[in-house]
Amino acid sequence: MPQSAAAQVPLIALEGVGKWYGAYHALKNINLTVKKGEKIVLCGPSGSGKSTLIRCINHLEETQEGNITVEGTTLSDSSRSIDAVRREVGMVFQSFNLFPHKTIMENCTLAPMRVKGVSKAEAEATARKYLERVRILDQADKYPAQLSGGQQQRAAIARALCMEPKAMLFDEPTSALDPEMVKEVLDTMIGLARDGMTMICVTHEMGFARQVADRVVFMASGEIIEEGPPETFFSNPQHQRTRTFLGEILAHH
Amino acid sequence: MASIGPNELFFLMQGLKWTLALTLVGFIGGGLFGLIVALTRTAQNDLVRRTTTGYIAVFQGTPLLMQLFVVYYGVALMGFNVDAWVAVAIAFTLHASAFLGEIWRGGIQAVPKGQTEAAKALGLHYVSMMKDVILPQAFKISLPATIGFLVQLIKGTSLAAIVGFVELSRAGQIVSNQTFRPLTVFALVGVIYFLICWPLSLWGARVERRLSTASR
């Protein structure tokens, strides 16, 4: 793959994005571009707007200012643009959000069948491929409640991958997990990153950030305070708020 | 005094047949319209939501008996000559849809928000999101209350006697007038209602217990 040429194309671009919840200014003038294959880690104190930011990218939240463009489609209120963006972008949630009344296999095949209109056999073949990749193919016929938290999150990752998205958004994917299960999910995400998936991860796992991130973006009070490659971000943070945050978060690791 | 023989029992069973038929009509009609009511009650559109809220307020806030009168005589006054069946089917459908709609609205809103978000993030549209993801979970949550309403509806069909239906209660009254044994006859009628409603109530209670242990 001509890495350098592909790297020029921004897959996701946010320009001057602003969001309010009533009078509360949740996102302030956010500018962020993500190139194909880039891995971004978003971090910051709770309430800093990092989850809100990635939820705006696939229009789970509406924005009031600026533009969000994904693979050439600029998000608007039109369902056509929302559909187009959601087809390209997969999402993994903190609380997994698997469909509890469906088996893992059915969780994985529902959207491809309903949205892309592929046959059941084809959807199942795709699902098996991705369930194998997250190493839970043997759990395919179980219901979510029968799986451990780590297995559920890996199933949720497989479900998102079944739509064959160009980019993946991770919203604190390991925050709801017991400590011993964090690693299996992070390993899955590292594998995805190695395979070249474009990723934006909201996470407090700084080890993960060091290992896979091309850029670490630090947010506070709805603003991007600073961003940089992990080496410089961790060793030489520019802003006082970043230093305070890193001091707090790294003290626990 | 005449005794209660096979003929009287047969007459009561005919009445029971109408009771069950009325229940079925009310439940199916009410279920279909109730689904629409539930979906519009949870709709984004303000006007749609308020209209349905008003509809529910009217039908929950007035007696079923009055609703039967209004439909039965009202439809006739408008110049339509409908038979009692159609009038009663309409009245029960309207009545049941207001209650079932509100029960299921609660069920829909009790499904965690993350389910809607996951469905949207996967690109599912409204119909598939509702049909495949939200409603199956909402119905499960609503099942005890739905069964409870079904029991109310079975007993409520006795009001159809007022517009000339010979359902179980009315049949009991007729047999009682013929045999002069009101105590025996109405005890029998009561037992029949009870044998239908009680198992349903037990089922509802069991479902509720199972749901509460599952969510613990």
**B214 to chain A, minimum CA–CA distance in Å?**
10
Superfamily for B6-214?
Answer: MetI-like (1.10.3720.10)
**CA–CA separation, A39 and B47 (whole Å):** 44
Q: Round to whole Å and give the CA distance between A143 and A135.
A: 16
CB nearest to B115's CB, from A89, A91, A97: A97
Distance CA A26, CA B28 (A): 47
Mutation target to probe the B interface, by most B beta carbons within 10 A, among A88, A89, A97 is A97
Would the CB atoms of A111 and B123 count as touching at under 8 Å?
Answer: yes
For chain A, residues with pLDDT lower than 70 are 1-9, 252-253
Q: For residues A34 and A12, is the Cβ–Cβ distance under 8 A?
A: yes
Pick B123's closest partner by Cβ from A83, A97, A156: A83
pTM of the full predicted structure? Answer: 0.89
Q: Does the pLDDT at position B201 exceed 70? A: yes
List the structure tokens of B106: 């609660």
In percent, the amount of chain B with pLDDT more than 70 equals 98
pLDDT number for residue A16 = 95
Q: Name the nearest CA neighbour of A87 among A114, A123, A52, A127.
A: A114
A65: left (phi > 0), else alpha (psi -120 to 50), else beta?
Answer: beta
Q: Which residues of B touch A (CB under 8 A)?
A: 112, 114-115, 117-118, 120-125, 128, 132-133, 136-137, 140
Q: Is the pLDDT of residue B102 over 80?
A: yes
Q: Please give the single-letter amino acid code of residue B50.
A: R
- What are the chain B neighbours of A163 within 8 Å (beta carbons)? 122-123
Q: Which of B123, B133, B136 sits opposite A115 (nearest CB)?
A: B123
**Residue B87 pLDDT:** 87
CB pair distance less than 8 Å for A86 and B117: no
Nearest to B87 by CA among B29, B33, B31, B38: B29
Chain-chain contact of B123 with A91 (C-beta, under 8 angstroms) = no
Tabulate helix, strand, coil % of chain A (nearest 5).
Answer: 45, 25, 30
What pLDDT digit, counting tens, does each position of B152-180 carry? 999 999 998 888 889 999 999 999 999 99
- Please judge whether A115 and B140 are an interchain contact, meaning their C-beta atoms are less than 8 angstroms apart: no
Spell out the domain ranges in chain B: 6-214
Pairing of strands A10-21, A89-92: unpaired
pLDDT at res. B165: 87
Contact across the interface for A60 and B117, Cβ inside 8 Å: yes
Chain B residues with CB under 8 Å of A115 CB are 122-125, 128
Q: Do the Cβ atoms of B82 and B91 come closer than 8 Å?
A: no
- Picking from B114, B124, B140, the nearest residue to A115 by CB comes out as B124
A37 phi-psi bin (left φ>0, alpha ψ -120 to 50, beta other): left
pLDDT at B211 over 50: yes
Please report the ipTM that was assigned to this predicted complex: 0.92
**What confidence category does residue B127 fall into, taking pLDDT thresholds of 50, 70 and 90?**
very high
- Please say whether the beta carbons of A70 and A45 come within 8 A: no
Quick one: tokens of B105? 């609205």
- Three-state DSSP at A24 gives strand
Average pLDDT score over chain B: 92
Chain Cα centroid distance, residue A129: 21
| DSSP 8-state code for residue A172 | S
By C-alpha distance, the chain A residue nearest B125 is A115
